Amino acid sequence: MTTNRRRAATIPDVAREAGVSRSTASRALADYGSVSPDARERVRAAAEKLGYRANQLARSMITGRTHTLGVVIADIQNPFFAGVTRGITDAAHTAGYQVLLANTDEDLGAERAAVKTLCDKHVDGLVVAPASTTEVGHLAALVEGVCPVVLLDRHAPSLPTDAVTVDNQGASADAVRRLIAAGHRRIALVTLVGSEPDGGADGGAEHGAGARTGEAASGPFPISTGVERVAGYRAALRAAGIEDTDAYLRVGTFHRQDPAVLTEELLSLPEPPTAVFATDSMIALGVLSAVNARGLRVPEDISVVAFDDAEWTRVVRPRLSVVAQPVQELGAEAVRALLTRIERGARPPRHITLDTTFITRDSVAPPR
């Protein structure tokens, strides 16, 4: 039953008419995913009755929209981004949009090329996890132009658009406080930062090794996520009366330094750390690899915590205590913010911050 014949039919109208959920209706209309033949037929009939498809096509032609979103992720091999991408894709499909992905492997040059390619292909908007949160000129040009951009996992204060992240500083401080509460004082942080293009980041490697200088937190190529996790780490240490916050801070550079080697250096110190905090699950694999190579037991000899609830962290023995990020929700929020910008045009930038959850498992014990 149509309720109002004067306005253009919407997906909710079609769903109501067909007696199916909005999600089913949009999947059927977008010809995507699992819809029963019966539901598909009812949606088709409802769309025809309400003139939905004709309206949608007409709107496409008027607006020039392609109903395609571009997504630029930083590292497809990191389970965090795989999960986020899943959230993005599900949310986009539900809204009737297709997703095209590009992977930059944390390389700014690759990011610039990927953004250009996706724009050339006339995507309606971009979700970007930028390789740098300061070198964003190529994105600024888009934000002010025809292609809305929403940042994901990382925010760039100089870029007047939305960003969807977790509270990285708070989550990091919370994890460190838990280690302090367990009795630890010598707590290491192992993290990676972006590298300058054109090989200019050999100095970055020095920064990484020289984390004690205090400049390394931002690295040669700052990414807000890493900067904030280091800030949270330092803040929690200072609050516990630990003055030399950088004694066990190791900031490496993506592709140039191996977290296992950084950890091995830490374990070789005269007074090695009794706990190690890894800023993502891939770094945690490097940390565990170095810990295993030394024959150390977790948590008896050394405690280990990490960002990201990768599936393997629940299967290794001992199971890893982690900072879980709401990966699917981060992706879905980014899509919602982007669609709002696409459909309603420019509006003041919003920084959407989602909560993390610390999951206590078996990898933390008091120091020996």
DSSP secondary structure letter of residue 354: E
Nearest to a second copy of 107, 153 (CB atom):
107
Q: What one-character-per-residue DSSP string does 124-186 give?
A: SEEEE--S-SS--HHHHHHHTTTS-EEEES---TTS-S-EEEE-HHHHHHHHHHHHHHTT--S
Residue 138 in the binding site for a second copy (CB under 8 A): no
Residue 23 in the binding site for a second copy (CB under 8 A): no
Which among 71-79, 125-133, 186-194, 272-280 is the span making contact with a second copy, rule CB under 8 A?
71-79
Residue 40 in the binding site for a second copy (CB under 8 A): yes
- Rule CB under 8 A: choose which of 43, 99, 126, 339 binds a second copy: 99
- Rule CB under 8 A: choose which of 34, 62, 270, 344 binds a second copy: 34
Contact call for residues 22 and 15 (beta carbons, < 8 A): yes
Nearest to 267 by CA among 242, 233, 292, 231: 292
What distances in angstroms separate CA 130 from CA 55, 150, 215, 283, 327, one per listed residue? Answer: 36, 10, 21, 19, 17
- Rule CB under 8 A: choose which of 10, 105, 134, 235 binds a second copy: 105
- Rule CB under 8 A: choose which of 4, 5, 6, 31 binds a second copy: 31
Residue 113 in the binding site for a second copy (CB under 8 A): yes
Residue 100 in the binding site for a second copy (CB under 8 A): yes
- Rule CB under 8 A: choose which of 240, 312, 352, 354 binds a second copy: 312
Provide the minimum distance between the beta carbon of 310 and a second copy in the complex, in angstroms, as a whole number: 8
Binding mask 272-311 for a second copy (x = CB under 8 A): ----------x--x--xx--x-----------------xx
Nearest to a second copy of 4, 34 (CB atom):
34
| Helix pair 11-18, 52-63: axis angle to 10 deg | 170
Rounded Cα distance between 197 and 101, Å, is 22
